[in-house]
Chains A and B, each alone.
Chain A
Amino acid sequence: MSMRDRVKRQALCLAAGMLAGVAAMAADAGIVEGAPVALDESGFALKLPANDAVVYRGLVNYDKAGGPAGAFLYPVGTAGLAGLLVGIATHGTLVEAGKNSEKTRLQNEADKVLTPFRPVLDGMTHRILMGEGLQRLGVPAKARVIDANESADGWIVESLPVFSMTQDRGALVLENALLVYAASDPSNPRYRNVVKVVSNLHDDADLESHWGADEGKRLKEESERLFGHSIRLLMQALQARPSDQTQVEKTFRYIEGKEQRMERAQLVRENCGRAVIKTLRGWLMSVPLRQSAPPPQSPECSGEMAYPA
């Protein structure tokens, strides 16, 4: 394994671990406490993660993961109950190791979908992604990117984006773990959540060429759009006032690549053939809705606004 592969793998582990950690912390978060914050008016500093390599992986399906059911005979021998307990503990360790190894294998298999784009993705840094993403957000004057160890005044936004590509290469999915706090009070987060964005369908006949053309221009641009959209959703969530009305939970159907997916959630808003929903974990999700007709092609739904505010 080359040094670059090792660094990539470490970045992936770090990002996955951080995402899991933030997701766990965000399980009951997502609600702004106190007065709403208007980041577009006040401005903010977007802090770069310590590792500059952006994580891309293949979208994995664990539905078939796991071993079969069945009886297991424990070799007790003459050791009695102690032998049985040792046998069960050993069995448990082996099964757990097998489960972890299977999940790693499935992820490695899923990651192969990105193989043709690795040269492009290896050059994708958080600095480029976040800088360009903010440009696409349309509030560049009020927001700036700062280094991981740089200090700033006002509101600080920490972001850890992880991108996945569907196995049919029809969509990119961003999971962006976000943390917002005042620079003067970093130990007291104002907002902490994961914002997930599923891209619109890319339906080109040759998706490898589609994403890879012009040194991965579309892949980079779509990543920047999704990132910018996730920051916009964060800003809207921070500005929202808590509502007394109980939102109805329902199962939303949406498309992820060419596949139909479902998510149990509450509707936040819907326009341009997309919905913003709040999941059972409290995450914000922006998804292209399932529909037989293409999304409206009105000016407010095309170009950069394909991911509307």
Chain B
Amino acid sequence: MKSLFAAVALMVSVLLTGCASPPQTPVSLKSEVLTAKTPKVGVAMTALPKVDTQFPGAGCLLCLAAASLTNQSLTAHVQTLKHEDLAQLKADLAKVMRDKGMDATVIDEPLDVAKLPKFDSKVPNFARQDFTSLKAKYGVDKLVVIQITALGAWRNYASYIPTEDPKAVFMGSGYMVNLADNSLDWYQPIDLRKSADQKWDEPPKFPGLTNAYYQVLEMGKDAVTKPFIQ
């Protein structure tokens, strides 16, 4: 009987994991990439997400409605927070790369990664979208992509009940694609969460959480540039 349960559990886990592609694990930036003899590198960013709140775990419609209502004033405030100079991050990174002797150029237009064709590879450390067409478009050999997917404040829920105080978040990834074969020379997932110093529930301006938001913005910028500085 026990072996039957084990077999069923194994089948279920194989079926479930087989359906989902594993998340891309971090790829360290190799020192040779930072040498002066590297080819031309473009630095692009995806469009910045709206600064907003999210309530993961408030899964049912009624739970989400209750969470939204409870955090109404927080959401209203978070939506007023600015990206500040985050859009300049690609220019800042390009400067860091040029200071290292790399031939880096900024791609002005926002990159829409979702519009690129899918790239299927059984080999790890290849981009999931096919970036190779951008080699001719931008005239670069490698492309650094800064992809920020979420900014603002998140608060975990277990259905109707918040399981934590809200935290400022900066989520996304930075990666470098070799446009010759779509392989990843660097991949850095970014998942930064910062709690308010002391209390957070200070409407209407939420100074503690606002401070945490601007802290996490700086930390996010550092997470992108730091590998190229070292």
Contact = CB atoms under 8 A, between A and B. Distances in A.
Interface of A: 20, 23-24, 27, 62-63, 65-72, 74, 88, 91-92, 95, 99, 251, 253, 261-264, 279-281
Contact of B207 (A20, A66, A91, A279): A279
B56 interface: yes
B210 to A, nearest CB: 6
Given A20-B199, A69-B56, A281 B207 contact: yes
B10 interface: no
Interface residues of B, number: 31
Contact of A63 (B159, B193, B205): B193
Contacts of A71: 57, 59-60, 158-159
- The CB with the most chain A CB atoms within 10 A, among B162, B163, B165, B193, is that of B163
Contact of A251 (B57, B195, B214): B214
A87 to B, nearest CB: 9
B164 A263 contact: no
B207 A280 contact: yes
Interface of B: 56-57, 59-60, 156-165, 167, 193-195, 198-199, 202, 205, 207-208, 210-211, 214-215, 217-219
Nearest to B54: A69
Contacts of A63: 167, 193-195
Contacts of A62: 165, 195
Contacts of A264: 210-211, 214-215
Contacts of B56: 69
Contacts of B158: 67, 69-72, 91, 95
A64 B121 CA distance: 35
A261 B194 CA distance: 12
A69 B55 CA distance: 8
Contacts of A70: 57, 158
A251 B163 CA distance: 29
A182 B222 CA distance: 48
Contacts of A263: 211, 215
Nearest to B213: A264
Nearest to B219: A262
A254 to B, nearest CB: 12
B26 to A, nearest CB: 20
A263 B218 CA distance: 10
A92 B161 contact: yes
Given A279-B207, A280-B211, A23 B198 contact: yes
26 contacts: A20-B199, A27-B202, A63-B195, A65-B165, A66-B163, A66-B167, A66-B195, A69-B56, A69-B157, A69-B158, A70-B57, A71-B59, A71-B159, A88-B159, A88-B160, A91-B160, A95-B162, A99-B165, A251-B215, A251-B218, A262-B214, A262-B215, A263-B211, A264-B210, A280-B210, A281-B202
Nearest to A28: B205
Given A27-B202, A65-B195, 12 more contacts: A23-B198, A27-B207, A63-B167, A66-B156, A66-B167, A67-B158, A68-B163, A72-B159, A91-B160, A92-B161, A262-B214, A262-B218
Nearest to A260: B222
A65 B163 CA distance: 10
A30 B159 CA distance: 40
B156 to A, nearest CB: 4
A74 B159 contact: yes
A66 B196 CA distance: 13
A56 B159 CA distance: 39
A66 B200 CA distance: 14
A290 to B, nearest CB: 11
Contacts of A88: 159-161
Contacts of A92: 160-161
In the A-B complex, the 10 residue pairs with the smallest Cβ-Cβ separation, listed nearest first, are A66-B164, A69-B57, A67-B163, A280-B207, A69-B56, A69-B156, A72-B159, A72-B158, A264-B214, A262-B215
Contacts of A23: 198-199
Nearest to B199: A20
Contacts of B163: 66-69, 95, 99
B210 A67 contact: no
B208 to A, nearest CB: 7
Contacts of A262: 214-215, 218-219
A70 B214 CA distance: 28
A253 B208 CA distance: 16
Contacts of A69: 56-57, 156-158, 163
A29 B156 CA distance: 32
B198 A20 contact: yes
Nearest to B160: A88
Contacts of B202: 27, 281
Nearest to A93: B161
A22 to B, nearest CB: 12
Contacts of A74: 159
Contacts of B59: 71
